[in-house]
Structure 1
Amino acid sequence: MMALDAARGLAVIGMIAVNTGPRGDNGLLEMLYRVPYGRASLLFVLLGGIGISLMTRRARERQTPLPWGSLLWRCLLLLLGGLALQELDHDVAVILQIYGLLILLAIPLLKSSKRTLLLVMGLSALLGPVLWIATQPQIDGRVYRGPVSASEPPGEMLVGIVLTGPYPLLVWIAPFVLGVWLGRQQLTEPRVSTRLMIWGVSSAVGARLVSVLLVGVFGEPTSHIVWQRLFSAVAHSQMPLWLISGTGSAVFVLGVCLKIQTWSRSVWSPLIFLGQLALTAYVGHLVILAFVVRPGPETLGQGMIATTGTVAVLMVFAWLWRKRFTRGPLEMVLRAPKLQRRSR
């Protein structure tokens, strides 16, 4: 579905802009430039859930076994690949580790009812942040809170992925499972895209306004381990209002992409191809950051140039690759190898 490819391409572009930087400037232009911060990654995860749901539709509808081999293969590659990529000097929190484990956790839910999916999503969105805050006093100052890499002991990896890392599993289950639920809807129907746009913008704006109101009454949270933090809608705060607002933005973008009927035109080909090679493009931008861009950029202008250049290079590569192949290089690797029996 080209609309999903386009949305995936926008998610990749947003993550490239955020990861490239610069960071720390509070000027108006940089605030506009960093609009994808805390939103593009949620869109990426939401689309991942939709993709897994569509991938397993036949098994669900025909009541046949799930493609366990393919699913576990993806989990393993994304987990190990993400851990290895975190070792590069790109100054980015790689999202592939959590993406792989989200697929693993979602396997028991792939044949569950829609109501069960919504229940799991709601529990993650509301109770996940509460559990996150409740555990912080016990682990604060004892464990590393940065991105999870391959050089860490297994125990610290597990704690980092579930609790202390930039994408704690307790919280990020919610957008992924929502994606699994959305993958069961008739996304091609106009009324569905309209509802996604309405509910998406309502959630994005509404949660933000509620946060502003609560912070105005109770004040800004003074620490990451106080319950007052629950009122925050700051990007990547791991709190419910940010999760609802950011996921609402992702749902709105998805609805807009589904509403557009002109994706087949050649003018959109670079974006479509980039979305079809999303994993390759994501890994490619990490390599470009590590070996070409870093330690910069230092100014907003440099950041915009670096982002534009990176996106352009990846789009050209995707366009040239798709002229010859139907799947990207890393997308091919994601397909589980088929073991052929020897003929006797």
Structure 2
Amino acid sequence: MVQSSLSNPSARLHGLDLARYLALAGMVAVNFRLALGVEEGPSLLNQLVGLLEGRAAATFVVLAGVGFALAFAGRQHPTTAILKRATFLFILGLINLLIFEADILHFYAAYFLLGAVVLLLPPAWLPVIVIALPLGFIGLTLLFDYDTGWDWTSLAYTDLWTVPGFLRNLMFNGWHPVVPWFAFFACGMAIAKLQLRERRTQATLVVCGLALLAASVALSQLTSTFLGPLSGLKPVPPGPFFIMGGCGTAMAVIGLCLLAFESRLLSKSFSVLLPAGRQTLTLYIAHILLGMGTLEAIGLLGAGTIESALLATLTFMLIATIFSWLWSRRFKAGPLEALMRKLAG
């Protein structure tokens, strides 16, 4: 949701906007399936959406790390601007949390604050952070009960609005806890330091990303007997191989999207999607307020099918694409993006 501050449109890495669009579409599909109460099943459509679970959000966070580094790494004294944006996202996330308990924005605020610290460190620390956080999460599960606060039957967090419960949820066992999810953000910050305009770099991202994804699957299977749930590839609990696979997925998606804009034909074909990819903060909130609000109004919340969830996703993304394109004809930034820039710089 955070984008580069490059002012020259021709210098923009359009592939990153396309990757944001695809990550948003994946998150919408997962969240609509969750909202409609569709349980996991053997159908092909259910399996396909299941593959997106956690990975779409992970790609979103990696892209946030890329955008964060591109926007702030070259600035002098960026801390004030980062603090303002973190505060904006935290407040917006708390408001959204009242409606949607799987909100990711208040976690973004924490990622930003940690990102401000990481900017002060040598680049060599980034891979260390990416590796250390998943291992640290395993250590935390040995010290604390991961299930604390959760009612898994209703997916409700019982003490979320208490200080201990909120901090536990934010740091350890929420939907996108800082440990280990900040590893995705740090991965994005590391990717931002690469020569992303070079085709060789783009292809390397695809190959390395797919290799990481394949390795995560293999290692998950090999370690299942002694790591148990922590060996899984699902986001709950976010074990080390979920983090590995999420980083790999994000790298492959980013590389493929950047490569797509090396082709004149593909770049023209995908150009209509780019405005929505630049307005993901607005569209993220819209898919909750308007998308889920509409689903509730027509009586589908908790009573839908995978087909209806995907139809709702396609409908929302079509409307979002058209809206964003029309909005971009008059304004440089989306509504919430413009508000954040005005209030937080």
TM (norm. structure 1) is 0.86
One-letter amino acid matched to 2:84: W
Determine the structure 2 residue equivalent to 1:302: 308
Is 2:42 the counterpart of 1:31? no
Moved more, 26-35 or 42-51: 26-35
1:26 CA drift (Å): 2.7
Determine the structure 1 residue equivalent to 2:280: 278
Indicate the SS of the match to 2:124.
helix
One-letter amino acid matched to 1:268: F
1:126-137 equivalent positions in 2, closer than 5 A: 126-127=135-136, 129-137=137-145
Cα pair 2:180 2:238 within 8 Å, conserved: yes
One-letter amino acid matched to 1:241: F
Cα pair 2:150 2:156 within 8 Å, conserved: no
1:109 CA drift (Å): 1.2
- Give distance in 2, aligned partners of 1:147 and 1:57: 38
One-letter amino acid matched to 1:275: G
Determine the structure 1 residue equivalent to 2:9: none
Indicate the SS of the match to 1:106.
helix
One-letter amino acid matched to 2:111: L
Determine the structure 1 residue equivalent to 2:8: none
Determine the structure 1 residue equivalent to 2:317: 311
Return 5+ residue gaps in structure 2 as ranges: 1-12
Residue in structure 1 matching 2:128, options 97, 103, 119: 119
Cα pair 1:175 1:247 within 8 Å, conserved: yes
Determine the structure 2 residue equivalent to 1:73: 84
Cα pair 2:21 2:277 within 8 Å, conserved: yes
Residue by residue over 1:27-55, the C-alpha shift from the partner in whole angstroms, topping out at 9 and shown as x without a partner, is 22210233211110000000000011000
- Give distance in 1, aligned partners of 2:59 and 2:212: 14
One-letter amino acid matched to 2:113: L
Determine the structure 1 residue equivalent to 2:3: none
Identity across aligned pairs (percent)? 26
- Give distance in 2, aligned partners of 1:304 and 1:338: 35
Residue by residue over 1:289-325, the C-alpha shift from the partner in whole angstroms, topping out at 9 and shown as x without a partner, is 3311131551122112111111111111101100111
1:257 CA drift (Å): 0.8
Question: Is the alpha carbon distance of 1:290 and 1:149 closer, same or farther for their aligned partners in structure 2, counting shifts above 3 Å?
Answer: farther
- Give distance in 2, aligned partners of 1:151 and 1:276: 31
Question: Is the alpha carbon distance of 1:148 and 1:182 closer, same or farther for their aligned partners in structure 2, counting shifts above 3 Å?
Answer: farther
Determine the structure 1 residue equivalent to 2:10: none
Cα pair 2:203 2:255 within 8 Å, conserved: yes
Moved more, 227-236 or 282-291: 227-236
Cα pair 2:111 2:178 within 8 Å, conserved: yes
Cα pair 2:53 2:234 within 8 Å, conserved: no
Residue in structure 1 matching 2:69, options 49, 53, 62: 53
1:210 CA drift (Å): 1.5
1:149 CA drift (Å): 11
Is 2:29 the counterpart of 1:17? yes
Indicate the SS of the match to 2:52.
coil
Indicate the SS of the match to 2:144.
helix
1:100 CA drift (Å): 1.2
1:85 CA drift (Å): 0.7
Cα pair 1:193 1:258 within 8 Å, conserved: yes
1:228 CA drift (Å): 3.0
Question: Is the alpha carbon distance of 1:335 and 1:144 closer, same or farther for their aligned partners in structure 2, counting shifts above 3 Å?
Answer: farther
Return 5+ residue gaps in structure 1 as ranges: 220-226, 340-344
- Give distance in 1, aligned partners of 2:177 and 2:16: 25
Cα pair 2:17 2:277 within 8 Å, conserved: yes
One-letter amino acid matched to 1:258: L
One-letter amino acid matched to 1:130: I
Residue by residue over 1:75-108, the C-alpha shift from the partner in whole angstroms, topping out at 9 and shown as x without a partner, is 11111111111212x5x61111111110101101
Determine the structure 1 residue equivalent to 2:293: 291
Question: Is the alpha carbon distance of 1:72 and 1:148 closer, same or farther for their aligned partners in structure 2, counting shifts above 3 Å?
Answer: farther
Question: Is the alpha carbon distance of 1:262 and 1:207 closer, same or farther for their aligned partners in structure 2, counting shifts above 3 Å?
Answer: same
Question: Is the alpha carbon distance of 1:143 and 1:15 closer, same or farther for their aligned partners in structure 2, counting shifts above 3 Å?
Answer: closer
1:190-205 equivalent positions in 2, closer than 5 A: 190-205=199-214
Determine the structure 2 residue equivalent to 1:43: 59
Q: What is the aligned-residue RMSD (CA, Å)?
A: 2.4
